[in-house]
């Protein structure tokens, strides 16, 4: 193996329902187009929780041990041998997607829709695509996005979910001056609020079943908040645009009911597969545009720029940080949406300027 970098380390591996282990791993030798990244932070995503709690995330069923983690940032410890990608010592965010699906029909500008697309830390295909909750990760150099000068790794740790939110808001079109309803104020909902503020929405009304997440929503730009049980207040919003980020049919129903005639509903919260009981006839009589939103493409570059120049303010979305060694406790905290937003795992001490 070329070079002298020690790529021994531990990784957070899901073996089955409730069976999350910190395993010693020996990462494969990098191919010539792969770099070794020393991971600094990893955000725990809903899909990571689903693998842990249910052994599956939607239709992706765990069939072999899987290193979790797709929301990671770190520092290149060894650059790709072929010279592609950033050099050693560069702080980077990671774009977890590898488009696929040659020959399938989808818009060329939307590789996120390619049917063969793989994603780090996903059991969608077999063998699974191993993730990056590890001290060192071997990653294709093309996935690495150098952080703009002065952007701390800890803030950049939200770049992946913020890109999901950025893509969702972009799906709504121009939101400047508009009234936008955000259903669900978990990490993606709160990040959507932050992106909407950055994009110039005039009114941002956030909804959640719990009061705690609404506090975070207010900190990142919500101008008004409503508890989900208050159906009348939601219906009275008559939003130009609604962003459904709860991933629950009741949330989608609220989004439809809270949108004005002729308005747009963007659906980013991933609903369970199968039939969903929602008041869909309203979408006909109100001429609503229902738009799906799935992952993202190059939005991560815009997100990193906006995080660096301060126009996108997301820090309150992170409510907890745990060292990697306390991963089980971190996952327990993350599954309690009443008391946690985004939970970060820290893998190494952060030495970038501006880090806490
Ligand atoms: Zn995620």
CA 315-229-340 angle, to 5 degrees, is 25
Q: What is the pLDDT of residue 8?
A: 53
Angstrom distance (rounded) from CA 70 to CA 97: 9
182 has pLDDT over 60: yes
Distance 287 CA to ligand 1 centre (A): 32
The DSSP result for 271-332, as a single string, is: PPSS-----THHHHHTT-EEEE--S-STHHHHHHHHHHHTSS--GGGEEEEEEGGGHHHHHH
User: Are the CB atoms for 183 and 268 separated by under 8 Å?
Assistant: no
What domains can you pick out in the chain, each with its CATH number?
A: 9-158+314-346 (3.90.180.10), 162-292 (3.40.50.720)
| C-alpha distance across the termini of the chain, in Å | 36
80-94, 105-119, 132-146, 230-244: the lowest-pLDDT one: 105-119
The DSSP result for 221-286, as a single string, is: T-SEEEETT-HHHHHTT-EEEEEE-S-SHHHHHHHHHTEEEEEEEEE-S-PPSS-----THHHHHT
In the chain, % of residues over pLDDT 70? 96
Distance 187 CA to ligand 1 centre (A): 9
User: Are the CB atoms for 38 and 348 separated by under 8 Å?
Assistant: yes
2 has pLDDT over 50: no
CB-side neighbour CA atoms (13 Å) of 150: 6
Distance 33 CA to ligand 1 centre (A): 25
Q: Tens digits of per-residue pLDDT, 314-333?
A: 999 999 999 999 999 999 99
Instruction: Kindly indicate the confidence band of residue 72, based on its pLDDT and cuts at 50, 70 and 90.
Output: very high
Q: What is the pLDDT of residue 6?
A: 40
351 has pLDDT over 80: no
Angstrom distance (rounded) from CA 155 to CA 55: 30
Distance 234 CA to ligand 1 centre (A): 27
Distance 69 CA to ligand 1 centre (A): 8
- Reading the block at residue 233, the tokens are 């207040």
Angstrom distance (rounded) from CA 40 to CA 223: 33
285 has pLDDT over 50: yes
Q: What's the whole-number mean pLDDT along residues 245-251?
A: 96
Angstrom distance (rounded) from CA 280 to CA 113: 24
Distance 252 CA to ligand 1 centre (A): 20
Q: What phi and psi, each to the nearest 5 degrees, are found at residue 264? A: -125, 135
Instruction: Kindly indicate the confidence band of residue 166, based on its pLDDT and cuts at 50, 70 and 90.
Output: very high
Distance 193 CA to ligand 1 centre (A): 17
What mean pLDDT value characterizes the chain? 93
Residue 303's contacts (CB-CB under 8 Å, 6 or more residues apart) are 159, 162, 163, 166, 312
192 has pLDDT over 60: yes
Angstrom distance (rounded) from CA 292 to CA 49: 23
């Amino acid at each position: 193996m070329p070079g002298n970098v020690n790529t021994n380390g531990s990784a957070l591996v899901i073996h089955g329902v409730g069976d999350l282990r910190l395993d010693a791993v020996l990462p494969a030798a990098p191919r010539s187009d792969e770099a070794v990244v020393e991971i600094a932070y990893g955000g725990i995503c809903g899909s990571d929780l689903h693998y842990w709690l249910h052994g599956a995330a939607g239709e992706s069923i765990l069939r072999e041990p899987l290193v979790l983690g797709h929301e990671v940032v770190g520092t290149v410890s060894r650059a790709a041998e072929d010279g592609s990608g950033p050099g050693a010592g560069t702080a980077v965010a990671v774009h977890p997607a590898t488009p696929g699906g040659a020959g399938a029909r989808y818009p060329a500008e939307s590789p996120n829709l390619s049917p063969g697309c793989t994603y780090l830390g996903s059991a969608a295909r077999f063998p699974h695509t191993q993730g990056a909750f590890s001290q060192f990760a071997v990653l294709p150099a093309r996935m690495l996005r150098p952080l703009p000068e002065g952007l701390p790794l800890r803030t950049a740790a939200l770049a992946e979910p913020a890109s999901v939110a950025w893509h969702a808001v972009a799906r709504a079109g121009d939101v400047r001056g508009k009234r936008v309803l955000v259903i669900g104020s978990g990490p993606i909902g709160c990040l959507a609020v932050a992106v909407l503020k950055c994009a110039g929405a005039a009114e941002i009304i956030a909804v959640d079943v719990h009061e705690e997440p609404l506090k975070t929503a207010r900190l990142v730009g919500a101008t008004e908040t409503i508890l989900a049980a208050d159906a009348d207040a939601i219906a009275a919003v008559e939003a130009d645009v609604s962003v459904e980020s709860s991933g629950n049919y009741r949330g989608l129903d609220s989004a439809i009911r809270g949108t004005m005639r002729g308005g747009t509903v963007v659906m980013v919260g991933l609903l369970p597969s199968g039939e969903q009981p929602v008041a869909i006839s309203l979408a006909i009589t109100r001429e609503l545009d229902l738009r799906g939103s799935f992952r993202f493409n190059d939005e991560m570059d815009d997100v990193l720029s906006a995080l660096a120049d301060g126009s996108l303010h997301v820090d309150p979305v992170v409510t907890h940080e745990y060292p990697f060694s306390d991963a089980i406790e971190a996952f327990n905290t993350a599954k309690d949406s009443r008391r946690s937003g985004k939970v970060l795992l820290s893998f190494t001490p952060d030495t970038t300027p501006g880090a806490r």
